[in-house]
Structure 1
């Protein structure tokens, strides 16, 4: 049975590094690139009866599809095929839930490398995924040029 690897994709250099890592380091694994459309909370969410009614939702979905098409192209450059998916919600929760529900063996995610007060105030999706995921999680840092 082939191993399954989930790669979180958000368009950042860190997520691009995570995808590149997965494509290079786990060639035997079936890879799925996942984009999470983060839904607004609070004021706007209280007036919407569905996700589609939220301001900017359709544009965010389209951006996700574009990012995933770019991931498919990046994989094809290395003669690899990947699957893709777009889900909506809180990124860390959705990444872990998707991985569990679809029986992934591991998650590969980029780290934004926040430190100090930024990390405390903004949190870290990769940190939450590491703490909550029941499968191994590889956190990839973008390599500096040079």
Structure 2
């Protein structure tokens, strides 16, 4: 197996993200690979379909600022420099694929909550990333903390 050189880690910034970071750290050390972190925020207009008669841009900016702060804290665990920390606005699976291509990542690491039933039927970010990636994808099974 060829070694990995560039790893993109997609985080949802939940408490379980530490489990994904731990696995990413193990793999990056084993292959002496460069790690980039990404968190994708869906625009509020996607979630509410423009049905709210108010400007959500300030709220969206606050969400992005908070995400940058949380991602920065997560990055400290693996010594990931600021230029490899990405907070992106868009659809998660699509943006992770785009960023992986842009960074020429050869491995994407994401968390999988292992949901069943309706969540499986509707799909998930992990499933979307897995089925559209141009490189290897590792779905780390996370346990509720």
* Fold conserved between structures, TM > 0.5: yes
Shift of 1:54: 3.0
- 33, 36, 44: which is aligned to 2:37? 33
CA-to-aligned-CA distance 1:36-76 (integer Å, 9 cap, x gap) = 1111322159987xxxx53521111012112211112222x
Taking structure 2 as the reference length, the TM-score comes to: 0.81
Cα separation, 2, equivalents of 1:47 and 1:103: 39
Q: Which residue of 2 aligns with 1:62?
A: 65
CA-to-aligned-CA distance 1:77-122 (integer Å, 9 cap, x gap) = xxx444211111001110111101221111000012211113224x
Q: Which residue of 2 aligns with 1:92?
A: 93
Distance 1:61 1:116, change over 3 A: same
Cα separation, 2, equivalents of 1:105 and 1:22: 13
Determine if contact 2:6/2:105 at 8 Å carries over to the other structure. Answer: yes
Cα separation, 1, equivalents of 2:77 and 2:50: 38
Cα separation, 2, equivalents of 1:14 and 1:111: 10
- Contiguous gaps of at least 5 residues in structure 1: none
Shift of 1:138: 0.3
Q: Which residue of 2 aligns with 1:21?
A: 23
Cα separation, 2, equivalents of 1:58 and 1:101: 24
Determine if contact 2:36/2:80 at 8 Å carries over to the other structure. Answer: no
Cα separation, 2, equivalents of 1:33 and 1:103: 14
Taking structure 1 as the reference length, the TM-score comes to: 0.81
Cα separation, 1, equivalents of 2:6 and 2:53: 37
- CA-based RMSD of the aligned residues comes to 2.5
SS, match of residue 58 in structure 1: helix
Aligned pairs, how many?
A: 136
